[in-house]
Amino acid sequence: MKNILLIGASGGLGKHFTKGLAEEGYNLALHFNDNSAKLDETIKEIDEAGVKISAYKADIADEASVKEMIDKVKADFGSIDILINNAGLSLNAMSWKLSADNWNKVIGVNLTGPFLCSKHVIPVMRENNWGRIIFMSSVVGQIGVPGTAAYAATKAGLGGLCKTISKEVMKSSITANVISLGYFKAGLLYQIPEDIREQIRETIPIKKFGDPSEILECILYMCSDKSSYLTGQTINLNGGLY
């Protein structure tokens, strides 16, 4: 039974991933920073899944906090086989109005965080000569959306981070891949006003928002032994939106 460290487990997509991964028999170390109440609710809902589940608070933009979390997870679970970098923050403004403080906050959560989590998990995976690292990215970083300079920059940056890491760790049977998402019926989508959401839906060639269950299917494949030849790649789940 493999152990997953899910970063950003308390958000909208995190809830879907937590439930689905528990049902598939994975032990789960669930990271959160602010939304402990939401995470507690999710854990209660899957309490009978028959897997080990524990929650860990950390500021992933702070290296000491990340290291402390990963040390605790390793001590509690024995190993970390899979890392899913799912935390996300979007503070939107037109580029000439975006404060440097908000820019740095988004960079910290969306790019520095995945780097730090990967940095400190990789030695644990190398000990076992096996691992899976998954970065959750966004089509916004590929197409550019007005008002999302920081968010788009971080999501684009994950591609370069992933490709580099994948080449550094492949001799240890560790893979690293990106899932780049379009607009799904969960999470940050519902921070957008309804009229704007409808405009977005009309731009998607398939004319609908995605179902989170399809993301889960992709994650499950990437987590498996069957995906050993898939590394350094970006899988685009976006309904044809580019």
Domains and CATH numbers, the chain: 3-237 (3.40.50.720)
Report CA-CA distances (Å) from 235 to 51, 136, 178, 203, 207: 28, 10, 6, 20, 20
Whole-model pTM over 0.85: yes
Structure tokens at 3: 């152990």
- Is the distance from CB of 233 to CB of 175 less than 8 angstroms? no
Write down the H helix ranges in the chain.
12-23, 36-45, 63-77, 100-107, 113-128, 140-143, 149-169, 194-203, 212-223
Contacts of 13 (CB under 8 A, 6+ apart): 86, 136, 184, 186, 187, 212, 215
User: What percent of the chain has a predicted confidence (pLDDT) above 90?
Assistant: 79
What average pLDDT does range 194-202 have in this prediction?
A: 85
Tell me how long the chain is. Answer: 242
- DSSP letter for 121, please: H
Residue from 151, 183, 221, 229 carrying the catalytic annotation: 151
Whether the predicted pLDDT of 187 surpasses 70: no
Question: Is 151 a residue of the active site?
Answer: yes
Confidence of residue 42 (pLDDT cuts 50, 70, 90): confident
Q: In this predicted model, what pLDDT tens digit does every residue of 113-135 receive, in sequence order?
A: 999 999 999 999 999 999 999 99
Q: In this predicted model, what pLDDT tens digit does every residue of 162-185 receive, in sequence order?
A: 999 999 999 999 999 999 999 988
Q: In this predicted model, what pLDDT tens digit does every residue of 203-215 receive, in sequence order?
A: 999 999 989 999 9
Nearest 10 degrees: CA dihedral of 125, 48, 68, 70? 10
